[in-house]
Amino acid sequence: QSALTQPASVSGSPGQSITLSCTGTSNDVGAYKFVSWYQQHPGKAPRLIIYEVSNRPSGVSNRFSGSKSANSASLTISGLQAEDEANYYCCSYTSSSTVMFGGGTKLTVL
């Protein structure tokens, strides 16, 4: 099984909105609503920021939003802040009864 496909890096300026993509197949992202997103700062454990495609856990800023279309999912961060600089991973349930992560996207806030 290969990882879900994410761009290696994206960048944006403070205040801007950026969208991170996550591309899978009809056996994972395209087949289920069970897509989640994680933020990970260097040396730290990942943090859940989106689950079930577009739901935010309690305490997560509403600047984070998620969506899905066909075999791809997206994470949008609006009003970019310096603290958003981190690695972001998408994750999907798969038809093999496992979960699969994306390769991760490094977000740089310019």
User: Residue numbers of the site for another protein (CB under 8 A)?
Assistant: 1, 3, 32, 34, 36, 38, 40, 45-48, 51-52, 57, 87, 89, 91-93, 96-104
CA distances (Å), origin 65, targets 29, 70, 103: 17, 17, 20
Report, in Å, the least distance between residue 89 CB and another protein. Answer: 5
Contact 109, 9 (CB under 8 A): no
Identify which of residues 26 and 96 has a Cβ nearer to another protein in the complex.
96
Report, in Å, the least distance between residue 15 CB and another protein. Answer: 28
Identify which of residues 13 and 58 has a Cβ nearer to another protein in the complex.
58
Contact 100, 1 (CB under 8 A): yes
Angle at 67 between CA 43 and CA 109, to 5 degrees: 40
Identify which of residues 3 and 10 has a Cβ nearer to another protein in the complex.
3
